[in-house]
Amino acid sequence: MAKFKAFFLAVVLLIALFLIGFFGINIIMKFIIGHGNEVEVPNLKGMHFEVARKTCKDLNLYLEKTDFIHDDQIEKGKIISQEPHPGIMT
């Protein structure tokens, strides 16, 4: 019976330590990473890349070129699509 109580106490303590660690790390990470500071993704379609980069930089967002498409009807250097879509909170 004493072994069972010791085992049960150890299991309860491990679960408590896990829960304290889990929630503690989540709270600490919010401060380190800055979660909670959500920003609405702006509409970058039709902007020149450098203008869009400045817009994103002002909002602490990262802009990356992922593809290049040649089209005679679209001015060189303009953004024609984006992901995530405008209006999404990130």
Digit-coded pLDDT (tens) for 12-66:
999 999 999 999 898 888 777 766 678 899 999 999 999 999 999 999 899 999 9
Average pLDDT over residues 76-88: 93
DSSP state of 36: T
Residue 55 sits in the same domain as residue 84: yes
Verify that 71 and 51 share a domain, yes or no. yes
Q: Do residues 21 and 11 both lie within one domain? A: yes
Q: Give the predicted TM-score (pTM) of the model.
A: 0.59
Amino acid at position 81, single letter: S
H helices of the chain, in order, are: 2-33, 49-58
Q: Exposed, middle or buried, 90 (CB in 10 Å: 0-12/13-18/19+)?
A: exposed
- Within this chain, do residues 83 and 43 fall inside the same structural domain, yes or no? yes
Q: Are 76 and 40 in contact (CB under 8 A)?
A: no
